[in-house]
Each structure stands twice: as structure tokens, then as C-alpha cells.
Structure 1
């Protein structure tokens, strides 16, 4: 994954020279190097659009823009179609898959000339990414708790979609505990989550871990985060954090 726009140009035009390019989405992530606005992010992504090949992407406000660039490069655009993905199919995975994920893979298969049946079978047999969003059940069987691993989500939109998707799956959202991992090299992301994510999740406890948790603490003290309890565990070790967690 090349984040720097110059690296994207080098990876595509000098190294990989892919004839099938995929633009998954244009979201507020890595804005410090691709921003400052989503328009610049979209412009940076055009470096990955191949010449004389295929571009696979989703419906978005930047679709027409991507189509214009693709046309200039004699590249066919395939727009992923979520209507081809059933909820029944998504529930066959042992980790959380969003319709966009599956429809993009199906569109790539189309670009490669792979039939739909083979594509669906391949998705189910593929090894998931190590950061795949899994839901782990633990604690008492009669009153289970669930750990939702959403740490791979780097932007507000994706994080809130995970929260909504968990609810769609019917998992209990009573007395949720939200763990926010803060990184010293991503203070802007911490500020973004304090402003655009945590105020919209009604958690019983919000726990800030990692480093540079000040933006979360400040938002809580201002009353912007609707939680009954806030634990600032900045600098705590994993074992110390686990010892503090409720049984």
C-alpha cells in the first residue's frame, strides 16, 4: 500500500504496471500526505488507474471523475454492483465482510474473465487478511460477551459502518465497552475519532489506551462523548489493561 502520491505513481508506472486497478473508496484517511481534502485524495488515486486495462471501483461522488481519467487512458471501468451480493452469502464468512468488499472482488473476477460461481467459491476459500474484522465470543455461555476487532478501521465512516453492521447481525449492544487505541504518530486520527466517532457511539465505558490520549480526554471532559465512564489508560501495558477490564 503506497500512501504517498509520488510512491503510487512509481509503484504503478515503474514497478507493478498493473492492467487491473481497484479503487475501493475515497475516505478521510492519511489526509496528512494525500489531503488536505478528499478531492486531493481522489486525485492521488488516479495515479493507479492503468492504461489500456480495467478500473474497478464503486459508486461514489468521484465515479465520473475516475471515468474521465480512465477514458483518457483507454481503460474500461467496471462499477461494483452490491445487488449481486446476498446477505446469505455474506454470512457464510467466519469474519465480517461488507457488500462493497464482495462486489469489488466479483467485479475484479469479471475483468479477469472468471465466472461468477467460481468467483463466489474463491472468496469463501480465500485466507482472510490478518486484520480481518472478527467477532470473538467469550465469558459465560449463558451470558456471553463479544469482542469486535475493529482496529483495522482507520477512518470514521468505516468505524461507524462496523458498529451498524454488528447491530444488523443481532449481537447485543447492551452496556458496550469501546477501546480506543491512540498512536503518537496519528494524533490527527485520534482528534478525528474524538470528534466524528465516539460522540455517536453510546458506550457504557470508553477506554483510551496507547499514547497521546489527550484528545479523547478533552472531548470527554467537554461532555462530547456520551459514556458513563472514561478510563484513561495511556502508557499502560497489555497485562495492566487486561487486569483492569471488567470480568
Structure 2
């Protein structure tokens, strides 16, 4: 009996300790005047950086944290540093981050949502962030195993980070999806503001050191409206923000008498984003031959045929295969087998150097100007070899996004 009572007492003491700890966390968190939670499918890390910069420009002592290509802490002085995560990502780290920001007298904390699973995302919003402003960048088809098989289901899942009694900002444009987001915002007594890319002038894109997306900038403008910060100051702040390590830019590299415009879209694996970016590049570089690398991983078979058909629809020629499932791609192009160049794991080039891989691509393209786009996945031996090569090459253009803006006045 004594052992039972001791165990029961220990249990209650532990629960009390947890409760006191959580109440202490709430007190620290609530000292932060503005808390912003950034969710969505594409652009979360970039938007986190833009929003942090806008708050900073408005005079607030602002901290941020991204969880994209590399977890980074964004400091009030505009610099950022590696989070220094030990082990695998864990949503509990957000608690420590918020406490650290509070101890450093943060007036604003902008955090990218690090949970794909809607259950964890809801916990992060309801128990950790309790945000004043929630951002859902967009709704795209990705992570169906967690978010749902339809865009409507994904919109519902992303809605878990909509704040209570706050503001929801989104750059989503689909009326059906906006209706879902607005319905869920109203159910939490929050108002929704739609960030329209029409508020972004084409000239606004020219000052960014990376390939800037109108939707992301529009979200920054909505934050500026809330803070009553002039638009020109908000734009300048976003342009000066340190780019995310995974931010998309076009790199121009000379190779064997050709000019290669390299567009790393390996991380873009939903149809809407890939088509939008590809078509924008096509319009900016009409004289460049369109070449795509389908980088297929063995553990991602569902993307293979889908992206092969997409490459066909977008008239890429040649279509280069890296990684696995090359035969599946060949079958999609069995009506035009000469369009496909196999350089992946089933070919004799599976262990080739980047120079040899590029030599094959250039020879197949037979053009002096090549727009080379990588897509589907990031990690395969050939892709990593290629990325390492491009990282070590001097660019022909210092700022690719400026070239893109000036090349042709178009809006996508």
C-alpha cells in the first residue's frame, strides 16, 4: 500500500510539474506582442523571411525561424544562423525557440510551421504559438498521406494553423479553396485577408537576389498594411532579407561552348508550382532549348509516370532521366523514344562525373543555349553530383532574377 501511495504521489507531483512548466511557458510566450505562424505547401521559408524583414523594418525587435532546406534562426539585426539541431527534427523544439525569443525581449516571433501531420500542426498552433497572424501561403497537392487526397482535403488540413481571434493571410487564389479557408477562419473568429499578386508590380521583382515569386511578396505587402508601413519600405526590406538556402534562382554557366541556364526545381514536386515556374521561365527565355531532368527516387514511385507525362505536355526535348524507373519514363515516350536520354542508375552513366553527364545533355540538345530544369526529387547520385558541380561554378550573371525581370515584361 505504501508503495502504491508513493507512486500515486509521484505521479501527481509530475503532473503538477508539467502544469507549472506549461503555465510558465504561456506567460513567457504571451509577452511577445506579435506571433506569426507560417504554413502552406510552397514558399513557407521565403515568406517567413519576408515577414520577419517587414516587421523589422516597421521598428519591431523581431526574431524568426525557418525549417526549410536548413533550420535557421533569423535575428533582429537581419543576420541568420544555423539552428544547430541535434538529431532528427522534433516539433517540441518550437517550445524552446519561443521561450528563447521571449527571454531576448522579442516583440515579434515569426515561425514556419514544421509539422506536416495535421495533428501536430494543430498542437503547434493551439498549444505553442497561439498566433495573432496565421499565414497559409497556398494549397497544392503534396503529402497526400498526411494532408489528404484532394486539394479540398489539404485546405482543411492546413486550416489547423488558423489562429483564434486573429488574422489569416493567404495568397491562394482558387475560389473553392478560399471558401474553405474563410469558413474555417470564421469558425475561429478570425478574419481572412487575400494577398493578391496583382498588388506586385513586375519592377518589384528586380531587386531580389533570388527568383522572387509575386505571391510571396504580396503576403509581405499584407503584413505591411496591417503595420501601416509604406509599400516601398516593405519591398526594400524584403529585397534585403537574406535568401533561404533553398531559394530558387537561375544560374548561368558556360559549358563546352554553350550557355546553360540551370534552374534547380528538384524540390518542386507538385504540378501547379512546377508548371507555373516552368512556363514563366519559358516566356523569359524563348530562345533557350527546354531540357528537363526527371530525377526519380526508388522510394517515390508515384511521381514517376505523373512527371513524365507532365514533361511531355510541356514539350521538353530532350527529357533526361536520373535515378531509378527509367524504363517507366521510356514507356511514356514510346511514341518518341529519341526524346529520352537515360543517364540514371540503369544506364552506363550511373557513376559518371558531372562533366560527363552535362556533355551528354549538351550533345543531345544540340543547342548553344539550354534551359536545364531539374525536378521530381532531390537526392540521387547523379543529381548530387550535378548540384556539387554547379555550386562550384562562377555564374555569367551576378543576379539571375534581375535578368529574368528585364528579359520580357510578363506576368504569370
Match of 1:172 among 281, 287, 301: 287
Spell out the pairing of 1:54-73 with structure 2 (5 A cutoff): 54-58=167-171, 59-60=173-174, 61-73=176-188
What is the aligned length? Answer: 243
TM-score normalized by the length of structure 1: 0.87
Task: Look up the match of 1:234.
Answer: 345
Partner of residue 145, structure 1:
260
Deviation at 1:151, TM superposition (A): 1.7
- Work out whether 1:216 is the aligned partner of 2:329: yes
Is the Cα–Cα contact under 8 Å of residues 210 and 234 in structure 1 kept in the other structure?
yes
> CA 1:142–1:168 in 2, change beyond 3 Å: closer, same or farther?
same
Cα distance in 2 for partners of 1:193, 1:111 equals: 40
- Matched with 2:119 is 6
Partner of 2:6: none
> How far is 1:227 from its partner?
6.3
Q: Which of 170, 192, 199 is the matching residue for 2:312?
A: 199
Query: Which gives a bigger RCO, structure 1 or 2 (Cα 8 Å, sep 6+)?
Result: 2
Deviations 1:167-195 (A, max 9, x none): 23235332x32111112332222332123
Residue-by-residue CA offset, 1:90-134 (whole Å, 9 max, x unaligned): 122232122112112211333344332221111100111212111
TM-score (norm 2): 0.54
Structure 2 counterpart SS, 1:218: helix
C-alpha spacing 1:152/1:172, structure 2 compared with 1 (3 Å)? farther
1:47-75 Cα deviation digits (max 9, x unpaired): 01100111001222211221122122121
Gapped regions of structure 1 (runs ≥ 5)? none
- C-alpha distance after superposition, 1:126-149 (max 9, x if no partner): 111212111111116985221112
Determine the structure 2 residue equivalent to 1:35.
148
Unmatched runs of 5 consecutive residues or more in structure 2: 1-113, 363-412
> Using a 3 Å threshold, how does the CA distance of structure 1 residues 185 and 142 change in structure 2: closer, same or farther?
closer
Runs of 4+ in 1 over 4 A off after TM superposition: 140-143, 235-239
Contact 2:321/2:340 (CA < 8 Å) preserved in 1? no
Greater C-alpha radius of gyration:
2
Any idea what SS the aligned residue of 1:144 has? strand
Distance change in 2, residues 1:83/1:233 (3 Å): same
Work out whether 1:108 is the aligned partner of 2:223.
Answer: yes
Residue 244 of structure 2: aligned partner: 129
Provide the C-alpha distance between the structure 2 equivalents of 1:214 and 1:18, rounded to a whole number of angstroms.
48
CA distance in 2, matches of 1:133, 1:144: 19
Partner of 1:157: 272
Query: Paired residue for 2:95?
Result: none
Q: Which moved more, 1:100-109 or 1:45-54?
A: 100-109
Return the alpha-carbon distance in structure 2 between the equivalents of residues 206 and 70 of structure 1.
Answer: 43
How is 1:84-123 mapped onto 2 (pairs within 5 angstroms)? 84-123=199-238
- SS state at 2:203 partner: helix
Please state how far the C-alpha of 1:81 moved relative to its aligned partner.
2.1
Provide the rounded CA distance (Å) in 2 between the counterparts of 1:32 and 1:190.
17
Question: Comparing 150-159 with 186-195, which one deviates more in the overlay?
Answer: 186-195
**Distance change (3 Å), C-alpha of 1:185 and 1:143:** closer
Kept in 2: contact 1:54–1:111 (CA 8 A): no
Deviates more, 1:200-209 or 1:231-240: 231-240
Does the 8 Å CA contact 2:304/2:328 hold for their aligned counterparts?
Answer: yes
